[in-house]
């Protein structure tokens, strides 16, 4: 959230806030900081309509931010992952300076196929606040409740 006002002040195009936004408090904060929209990933991965595997959706609901492990990607970046078999093996190898046999770049394996042994589940710290699997309609209604209320008051 600290970068949103910096970007808003630096550009003359609409700004979308993203990263860990999973409830109406995050949406409201993003708009208060000048964003004109939000992009939510993890919350919608855990939605009823998402093509993500049911095991993935349940893992998002069951784990919290403190459970996540940080993985180095092959391209020098980082991903937060639910601590499944491959993620834990990867963390251990990274700490020991070992070489991975399995790349972590294949998100489909765990997230869509539900194979937690050969793939990882990359998520945001916002999983801490995702407590149930809901429909996209229910998610959007909940996230926009305050905004819709303000619009009705202004009309």
Summarize pLDDT for 31-89 with one digit per residue, the tens. Answer: 999 999 999 999 999 999 999 999 999 999 999 999 999 988 777 788 899 998 888 98
Residue 102 banded pLDDT, cuts 50, 70, 90: low
Question: Rounded CA gap, 154 and 67, in Å?
Answer: 43
* Backbone dihedral angles phi then psi of residue 62, each to the nearest 5 degrees: -80, -30
DSSP 117: T
* Other beta carbons within 10 Å of 11: 9
Mean pLDDT of all residues belonging to the chain: 89
Contact between residue 1 and residue 33 where contact means Cβ atoms under 8 Å apart: yes
In this model, does residue 103 exceed pLDDT 70?
Answer: no
Question: Rounded CA gap, 31 and 106, in Å?
Answer: 34
């Amino acid at each position: 959230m600290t970068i949103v006002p910096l970007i808003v002040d630096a550009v003359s195009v609409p700004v979308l806030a993203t990263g860990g936004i999973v409830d109406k408090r995050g949406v409201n904060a993003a708009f208060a900081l000048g964003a004109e929209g939000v992009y939510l990933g993890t919350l919608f991965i855990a939605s009823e309509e998402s093509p993500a595997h049911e095991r993935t959706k349940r893992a998002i609901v069951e784990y919290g931010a403190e459970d996540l492990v940080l993985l180095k990607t092959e391209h020098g970046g980082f991903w937060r992952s639910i601590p499944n078999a491959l993620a834990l093996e990867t963390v251990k190898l990274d700490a020991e300076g070992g070489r991975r046999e399995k790349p972590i770049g294949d998100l489909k394996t765990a997230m869509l196929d539900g194979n937690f042994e050969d793939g990882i589940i990359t998520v945001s710290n916002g999983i801490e606040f995702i407590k149930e699997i809901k429909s996209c309609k229910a998610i959007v209604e909940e996230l926009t409740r305050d905004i819709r209320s303000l619009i009705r008051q202004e009309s």
